[in-house]
Amino acid sequence: MIKVFLVDDEIAIRENLRNSFPWEEEGFQLVGEAPDGEMALPMIRDLETDVLLTDIRMPFMDGIRLCEEVQRTMPWVERIILSGYDDFSYAQRAISLGVREYLLKPVTSQELRQALNRVRQQIEEKRHDRERLSDLSRRVSSGNQFLRDKLLASLFTDEGDLADDDALLRQMRSLGVNLTAGCYAVIDISFDAEGEERTACRAALNGIAEVSGGCVFVCSAPHGARALVLGDSHADTEERAYSFAESAIHLPELIPQQQLLLTIGETVDDFHAIRKSMRSARHIRHLQRAGGQKGRRIAGVNEILSDPMSLSETELSPLYERLQQTSEEDVEAILTEYTATMDPSLALGYLRVAALLAAQRMIHEAGGNPREVLQEDEVTEALRTEGEAGFHCLAELLRKAMKFRDDSGSGRGSSAVSIARAFLSAHFSDPNLMLQDVADTVHLSQSHFSTLFSQETGLTFTRYLTALRIGKAKELLTTTQLRTSQIAFDVGYNDAHYFSYLFKKTTGLTPSEFRRGSGEEENQP
């Protein structure tokens, strides 16, 4: 049954079309209707519509704008334009948007039937093509498609050099793919499907990439897929990335995936920096999963600022905890210390995510909205600026968040728990650290401090300290090549076996499995 959605601001016309046309008899289902495009758009998505039947002249969002949005986010939906005006300019605009049917009011049942049947044929042909593509994907084991997939996947490894990347560009060009662009962004696509269902999901993603006009290319990944987005500028690339992600999340093949996560990495302006975008997309995926985010969602670095977090819902951020009892003047020194043990090629990318999370939590806990406190252009500059200048931009964002915290009256303060958290952030790596040490620091008895601490943080002292240590261990596993035994020692455990036991109990993975999962060999994020 082909699902049709009707949009017209004249209720008499909607009633006439709804009641006079034999929808069910003709093999169609009228699944919904709306008086304007703005109201219709989310309903079209939710009702898994096949055909949009829309008027041109409507308030708020007219039919042309609605068709533009549908083409951008749901390109598989066929569109039929209704118009009471025999206006050639409307017809031209409709044709440029890929609208194949343009009917003048009043529309007879015969005209509507013929238009719907032509559209039905187009839908069935596309479904057949999609099935054929899915079948082809299952059978392909060699040839250009296979080679393109492998070459693209090689861009998303942590290792690579200029010569390898230049050779890849030439190889892709020989296969008819031009990857030269002004800017690039990587989308990490994670879903749970297995076997033929996973193949069908990847084929569907390839299908919408194919209609992007050479702006998006998809390849497989162990946890799902990845997409490379090409654009002329930062704004253009970001727009294309979010448009592709919005289309992907509404693909019929991906609708059944209840744990579908699309994370968009930072935009880079050099082909050789694509791995940087990949790493930031991957960091966001790990943070979303570690933070307990479930369901179907799209997330970029900017979305971190929209997600409220609490101590009981995610692992503790060592950077955030370190900033609890410090002044604005000390921020850069703390950031330098924070990244001292990290691989320099990974440090700034990881710091971007950690700093934004720390700023976001700081503002949330002070009762503010991060998107109101931190200006969009400031965040964008911090995400795009490289080297030492980028480091200073992140420091400035944190200073702004700390100023808001202090001005709100919920700043550093002198509460026993605030002092204790700052003490723990500075001394958690001491293997001999005990509850008594922290209680003595804040001049309280162990029992009094323990009760006060758990009531305010939602965590017992032991759980808090373990989470802080495991959080730091995750950073070191992701950003260094240190041995597990050394990381265990660096975060406060003399016994590497006990550390591994706690790490698996906390995360569900051994340290080595987590490290592989931070790279390209994970079976599941």
Answer yes or no: is 135 within a domain.
Answer: no
Cβ-contact 51, 122 below 8 angstroms: no
Q: What distance in Å separates the CA atoms of residue 256 and residue 446, rounded to the nearest whole number?
A: 51
Pair (102, 81) in one structural domain:
yes
What is the pLDDT, as a whole number, of residue 117?
Answer: 92
Closest of 355, 364, 304, 315 to residue 334, by C-alpha: 355
What is the pLDDT, as a whole number, of residue 185?
Answer: 93
Cβ-contact 408, 367 below 8 angstroms: yes
Answer yes or no: is 314 within a domain.
Answer: no
Answer yes or no: is 525 within a domain.
Answer: yes
Q: What distance in Å separates the CA atoms of residue 18 and residue 20, rounded to the nearest whole number?
A: 6
pLDDT band, residue 189 (cuts 50/70/90): very high
Residue ending a domain, among 383, 411, 439, is 411
Give Rg (Cα) of the chain.
27
Q: What is the 3-state secondary structure (H, E, C) of 95-106?
A: HHCCCCEEEECC
Pair (192, 219) in one structural domain:
yes
Residue 334 backbone dihedrals phi, psi, to 5 degrees: -65, -40
What is the pLDDT, as a whole number, of residue 144?
Answer: 64
Q: Which domain holds residue 241?
A: 144-299
Answer yes or no: is 137 within a domain.
Answer: no
Burial string for 380-411 (b: 16+ CB within 10 Å, else e) reads bbbbebeeeebbebbbbbbbbbbebbbeeeeb
Pair (423, 342) in one structural domain:
no
Residue ending a domain, among 94, 126, 158, is 126
* Residue whose entry in the numeric block shows the structure tokens 């933070």: 291
What is the pLDDT, as a whole number, of residue 313?
Answer: 37
Residue ending a domain, among 411, 434, 462, is 411
Pair (233, 368) in one structural domain:
no
Q: Which residue has the higher pLDDT, 175 or 429?
A: 429
Q: Which residue has the higher pLDDT, 7 or 518?
A: 7
pLDDT band, residue 365 (cuts 50/70/90): confident
Cβ-contact 26, 75 below 8 angstroms: no
What is the pLDDT, as a whole number, of residue 409?
Answer: 65
What is the pLDDT, as a whole number, of residue 457?
Answer: 77
Q: What distance in Å separates the CA atoms of residue 206 and residue 209, rounded to the nearest whole number?
A: 5
Answer yes or no: is 313 within a domain.
Answer: no
- Token digits for 56? 């041109």
What is the pLDDT, as a whole number, of residue 316?
Answer: 59
What is the pLDDT, as a whole number, of residue 305?
Answer: 58
Closest of 272, 267, 277 to residue 180, by C-alpha: 272
> Of the spans 185-189, 339-343, 510-514, which averages the highest pLDDT?
185-189
What is the pLDDT, as a whole number, of residue 310?
Answer: 44
Q: How large is the average pLDDT for residues 481-501? A: 90
What is the pLDDT, as a whole number, of residue 518?
Answer: 58
Tell me the whole-structure pTM to 2 decimals.
Answer: 0.50
The per-residue pLDDT of the chain, averaged, comes to 81
Q: Which residue has the higher pLDDT, 413 or 20?
A: 20
Pair (347, 439) in one structural domain:
no
What is the pLDDT, as a whole number, of residue 82?
Answer: 86
Q: What is the CATH number of the domain that holds 165?
A: 3.30.70.270
Q: Which residue has the higher pLDDT, 258 or 230?
A: 230
Q: How large is the average pLDDT for residues 268-272? A: 87
Pair (23, 74) in one structural domain:
yes
Residue 475 backbone dihedrals phi, psi, to 5 degrees: -60, -45
Q: What is the CATH number of the domain that holds 486?
A: 1.10.10.60
**Given a cut of 50, is residue 402 above it in pLDDT?**
yes
Pair (199, 118) in one structural domain:
no
Pair (109, 216) in one structural domain:
no
Cβ-contact 254, 76 below 8 angstroms: no
Answer yes or no: is 177 within a domain.
Answer: yes
Q: Which residue has the higher pLDDT, 454 or 282?
A: 282
Pair (419, 386) in one structural domain:
no
Closest of 157, 183, 154 to residue 169, by C-alpha: 154
**Given a cut of 70, is residue 432 above it in pLDDT?**
yes
Pair (181, 289) in one structural domain:
yes
Answer yes or no: is 316 within a domain.
Answer: no
Pair (151, 290) in one structural domain:
yes
What is the pLDDT, as a whole number, of residue 48?
Answer: 84
Answer yes or no: is 305 within a domain.
Answer: no
pLDDT band, residue 367 (cuts 50/70/90): confident
Pair (401, 500) in one structural domain:
no
**CA–CA distances in Å: residue 339 to residues 205, 335, 506:** 37, 6, 24
What is the pLDDT, as a whole number, of residue 91?
Answer: 65
Residue 434 backbone dihedrals phi, psi, to 5 degrees: -130, 165
Q: Quick one: CA dihedral 83, 86, 89, 92, positive or negative?
A: positive
Closest of 68, 80, 66 to residue 118, by C-alpha: 80
> Could you write out the DSSP letters of every residue in 323-353?
TTT--GGGHHHHHHHHHTTS-HHHHHHHHHH
Q: How large is the average pLDDT for residues 187-196? A: 87
**CA–CA distances in Å: residue 134 to residues 3, 476, 482:** 23, 40, 42
pLDDT band, residue 28 (cuts 50/70/90): very high
Q: Which residues contact 299 (CB under 8 A, 6 or more apart)?
A: 261, 262, 263, 264, 284, 288, 293, 307
**Given a cut of 80, is residue 502 above it in pLDDT?**
yes
pLDDT tens-place string over residues 135-181: 655 554 345 667 788 888 888 876 667 777 888 888 888 877 888 89
What is the pLDDT, as a whole number, of residue 317?
Answer: 64
**Given a cut of 80, is residue 80 above it in pLDDT?**
yes
* Residue whose entry in the numeric block shows the structure tokens 């728990």: 417
**Given a cut of 50, is residue 186 above it in pLDDT?**
yes
The fraction of the chain above a pLDDT of 90, given in percent, is 13
Q: How large is the average pLDDT for residues 61-79? A: 85
Total count of domains within the chain: 4
